[in-house]
Amino acid sequence: MFDSKKATEAAVAFVKDWFDRNGAGCRAVVGISGGKDSSVVAALCVRALGRDRVIGVLMPNGEQSDIDVAYDVVNFLDIRHMVVNIKSAYDALVEEIKQSVPELSAQSAINLAPRIRMSTLYAVSQSNNGRVINTCNLSEDWVGYSTRYGDAAGDVSPLAEFTVTEVRAIGRELGLPPHIVDKVPSDGLCGKTDEDNLGFTYDVLDRYIRTGVCEDEATRALIDKKHFANKFKLELMEKCESGEPKLAAD
């Protein structure tokens, strides 16, 4: 049985300890999408560091249908926040890339937005004595549902070992409003929910991660395929070792 109180206390202690070791006095910079993950991360940072050391950054790409929820988050937590609309930068970069790569794929264009957002977060962080906080959870990481060097980047990841179900429980423990914690997960990029894109529900995925049980053979195979295909995203890039090359023995 998941103990949300114990998990929340552990996550808060983790954040506090990490900052003590890697940025005493620094600020936590969090990209606020209006989804549960960024909301829970911001709330954990407020609990661990105090609201004066947390900065929320809203980064719509033009119009964002759920931007009101993102405002609800920063207002509820009473944290300093800023809005950086990435549309002009995104449109200009897409157009510039298409000059050389006219066959730019739809998925490449979709992934470009979170990469611009991460560059924005690091600019804000570097200018405010900050550290960028990753907002991915275990369920997303398990099946590679993140953009490499986009939302998958950051300096520390408080939710990386918690499933979507557990993140929601932590959000409730932190006292976040239900309309934030229980909001239907969406990447905010392609107009579909996470579960539409994945082909299975987070409830099914979370149960499989924690118990190894998934009755539907096709779903289990799909989860396994995504997991193994995307494991490289969570690993350090391989490097060529220095020194003389090792030759096979005769």
Q: Please state the domain extents for the chain.
A: 4-234
Instruction: List, for residues 90-128, the tens digit of each pLDDT value.
Output: 999 999 999 999 999 999 999 999 999 999 999 999 999
Considering the entire predicted model, what is its pTM?
A: 0.92
Read off the amino acid at residue 173. Answer: E
Closest CA to 28 of 150, 175, 131: 131
For the domain 4-234, what is the CATH code? 3.40.50.620
Q: What separation in angstroms does the CA of 190 have from each of 38, 60, 114, 193?
A: 19, 13, 12, 9
Please, are residues 138 and 209 in contact by the beta-carbon 8 Å criterion?
yes
For 131, phi and psi rounded to 5 degrees?
A: -135, 135
Instruction: List, for residues 9-62, the tens digit of each pLDDT value.
Output: 999 999 999 999 999 999 999 999 999 999 999 999 999 999 999 999 999 999
Instruction: Quote the pLDDT of residue 193.
Output: 84
Q: String of b and e for 111-123 (b: at least 16 CB within 10 Å)?
A: bbbbbbbbebbbe
